[in-house]
């Protein structure tokens, strides 16, 4: 849920510069887990945690490394 919350709070320009990250799916899963928790398919949560989160980590690390360093 924290990943979805963090994604939701990112600026739209940052998301637009990184369309390879599945922002809508991340935010959508967070919404279901928070608001429709009786409908949560735990096998999907498990698969996401084991497969998709490690892949997402790689995408986010690449995104962070492309950001300018230092303070404006």
**Residue 31 annotated to the active site:** no
Of the residues 9, 20, 30, 31, only one is catalytic, namely 30
What do you get for the CA distance between the two ends of the chain, in Å?
A: 31
**Residue 30 annotated to the active site:** yes
Of the residues 9, 17, 20, 35, only one is catalytic, namely 35
Query: Would you say the C-alpha torsion 41, 63, 68, 24 has a positive or negative sign?
Result: negative
Catalytic residues: 30, 35
């Amino acid at each position: 849920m924290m990943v979805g919350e963090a994604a939701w709070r990112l600026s739209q320009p940052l998301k637009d510069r990184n369309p390879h990250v599945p922002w809508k799916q991340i935010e959508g899963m967070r919404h279901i887990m928070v608001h429709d928790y009786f409908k949560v398919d735990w096998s999907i949560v498990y698969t996401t945690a084991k497969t998709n989160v490690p892949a997402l980590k790689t995408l986010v690390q690449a995104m962070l490394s492309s950001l300018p360093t230092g303070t404006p």
